[in-house]
Amino acid sequence: MLFKAYGDGLLLDHRPSDPTANLPRISCMMMSQAITLHYSDAAPPQRAYVGPRQVAQGRRLAATNETDWAALMLAVRDRQDRAAFAALFRHFAPRVKAFLMKSGTEASLAEDCAQDVLATVWQKAHLFDPTRASVATWVFTIARNRRIDIARRDRRPEPEALDWGGEGQEPDQADIYEAAEEAARLTEALKILPDAQRALVARAFYGDLSHSEIAAETGLPLGTIKSRIRLALDRLRTKMS
């Protein structure tokens, strides 16, 4: 499902993106502020100009606090938008701090490092590609690397970087939408895992478990995410050859 901001109104392009999900969504973005709306009944595909007031009054629509982080991140990347950065900071800095504390970092150091991580988000914004990973995933990788620095743990060599040739190219909106949707579904799936299993997954990412203690089966649906990345890699290889 796609949307574009036009003036202060919104153009909704609604089409079901996943036949297995019974929850069609309409995402509405207004400049750097964004809200997502859900409604529970399936409706025929529609394309309509909707003003902000109509959105607010929409009868079966219930606003959630789900924000379009990718749009904010692109505003930072492409326009150095400080207001968008502030919104990202308010959401992600407390999460990075909690992540570092869970990984054994003391609170005040975790707070300083959360600032570092968000400053890196600004600094390295050009590396963010919304078609490949959600903002949360990208921020996680920066926070993880910071955690490794704090612990003065072993170096972690990175795989060869690929040239996705992203610069100057308009990313495919459907790809961005799908990547964000998948990340949202994965977050939901993690929330509803049985407590013990969720704790085990979390501990692995807090760096609590050695590789031999990590359970092979997370109980999370990773197939679709893997397939989408694989498809993108196949397309890239075709383009390169």
Partner 1 sequence: MTIKHHLSDQLLMGYAAGNLPEAFSLVVATHVSLCDECRARLGAYEAVGGAVLETETAEMSEASLEACLARLGQPEAPQKPVPRRGFLPTPLADYVGGDLAQVRWKPLGMGVRQAILPTGKGASARLLYIPAGQSVPDHGHRGLELTLVLQGAFRDDKDRFGPGDVEIADESDEHTPIAEAGADCICLAATDAPLRFMALIPRLLQPIFRI
Residue 190 burial (C-beta neighbours within 10 Å; 0-12, 13-18, 19+): middle
Closest separation in Å from C-beta 233 to partner 1: 4
- Total residues at the site for partner 1 (CB under 8 A)? 87
Distances (CA, A) of 114 to 99, 111, 140: 9, 5, 11
Closest separation in Å from C-beta 173 to partner 1: 20
Q: How far apart are CA 126 and CA 74, in angstroms?
A: 9
Instruction: Identify which of residues 14 and 97 has a Cβ nearer to partner 1 in the complex.
Output: 97
- If one asks whether residue 131 binds partner 1 (CB under 8 A), the answer comes out as no
- If one asks whether residue 97 binds partner 1 (CB under 8 A), the answer comes out as yes
Give the residue carrying structure tokens 């050695």: 210
144 CB neighbour count, 10 Å cutoff: 18
Q: How far apart are CA 197 and CA 147, in angstroms?
A: 23
- If one asks whether residue 200 binds partner 1 (CB under 8 A), the answer comes out as no
- Record the tokens describing residue 58, joined without a space: 């929409």
- Say if residues 172 and 131 touch (Cβ distance below 8 Å): yes
Binding mask 104-123 for partner 1 (x = CB under 8 A): ---x--xx--xx--xx--xx
Distances (CA, A) of 186 to 135, 218, 221: 13, 11, 7
Closest separation in Å from C-beta 137 to partner 1: 3
The binder of partner 1 chosen from 22, 82, 172, 174 (CB under 8 A): 82
**Of the ranges 10-18, 26-34, 169-177, 214-222, which one interacts with partner 1 (CB under 8 A)?**
214-222
Report the site for partner 1 in 139-198 (rule: CB under 8 A): 139-141, 143-145, 147-148, 153-163, 167, 182-183, 186-187, 189-191
Instruction: Identify which of residues 50 and 150 has a Cβ nearer to partner 1 in the complex.
Output: 150
- If one asks whether residue 22 binds partner 1 (CB under 8 A), the answer comes out as no
Cα 165 from chain centroid (whole Å): 21
